[in-house]
Amino acid sequence: MSITALIPAFFGVLIAILSLVGYRQTDRQRLAAYGIGLLAVLGVLGSTRGIPDIIALLTGGAVDSPIAAVSQGVMIAVCLVLLATVIQVVRDTRTTMNQ
């Protein structure tokens, strides 16, 4: 087993820690949201090298490691959803603060 296989788990742990910090310390919610957003962007950027393999799998082609391709695809999808959620939360927070 390669240490790179654990990268999504490290991201998950960091996101969970930042979520707890933002939940427990309300004065740090914005910092936690930006940290989670940064991790989401890094997760997407770090997984983009797997896009050709993901496309090959979806079109019925063969790849060296289907598990790695699926894992990178899931990482991209989860990080994009997480990033969209963070953007929405930051927008809502700004709207609430401006009223």
Three-class DSSP labels, 20-82: HHHHHCHHHHHHHHHHHHHHHHHHHHHHHHHHHHHHHHHCCCCCCCHHHHHHHHHHHHHHHHH
pTM: 0.84
Q: pLDDT-derived band of residue 11, with 50, 70 and 90 as boundaries? A: very high
Cα 69 to the chain's mean position, in Å?
A: 16
* pLDDT-based confidence at residue 28 (cuts at 50, 70, 90): confident
| pLDDT tens, position by position, 58-67 | 999 999 989 9
What pLDDT, in 10s, does the model give residues 66-84? 998 999 999 999 999 999 9
pLDDT at position 96, please?
77
Q: Is the pLDDT of residue 5 over 90?
A: no
Quote the mean pLDDT of the chain: 90
Q: Give the confidence band of 1 by pLDDT, cuts at 50, 70, 90.
A: low
Distant-in-sequence, close-in-space partners of 14: CB < 8 Å, separation ≥ 6:
35, 39
At 62, phi and psi to the nearest 5?
A: -100, 145
N residues, the chain: 99
Helices 29-47 and 66-98: crossing angle, nearest 10°? 150
